[in-house]
Amino acid sequence: MRKLSLGALAREHLERATDASTGRSAATVYGGHEHVLRQSVLALTVGTALAEHESPGDATLLVLRGRVKLTSGDTSWEGRTGDLIAVPEARHSLQAIEDAAVLLTVAKHL
């Protein structure tokens, strides 16, 4: 059994993202590519985005800190600290409206 502080991970990765030339930082905190379930902390500095991409399975974003905008086609959802957003199965992108950290949970399709 392992216990993690999502708040501490959010702070740590926001610091890393601030120092990174890409404006982002990420780490898998549970599972991985060899598992069905994967959870990752992603941190993005304001204005930084993850380009449009496919979803590998059922997924949610839990906003740990800050504000983000998830866009799929002509539809977008804004999330702030404490919000949970269901990620659409369609192509989508993520942008930081302010410095933000999220917990991405993905259950891959088998």
Does residue 1 lie in a domain region?
A: no
Parent domain of 46:
6-108
Give how far Cα 106 sits from Cα of 32, 42, 51, Å: 10, 13, 18
- For the chain, strand residue ranges (E) read 24-31, 37-44, 49-53, 57-65, 67-72, 75-80, 84-87, 92-96, 100-108
Domain count, the chain: 1
pLDDT in tens, 51-94: 998 887 899 999 999 999 999 999 999 999 999 999 998 999 99
Does residue 20 lie in a domain region?
A: yes
35 has a pLDDT exceeding 90: no
Does residue 85 lie in a domain region?
A: yes
Q: Residue range 99-109: average pLDDT? A: 93
pLDDT value for 109 = 74
102 has a pLDDT exceeding 80: yes
CATH value at residue 42 = 2.60.120.10
pTM score, whole prediction: 0.92
Does residue 32 lie in a domain region?
A: yes
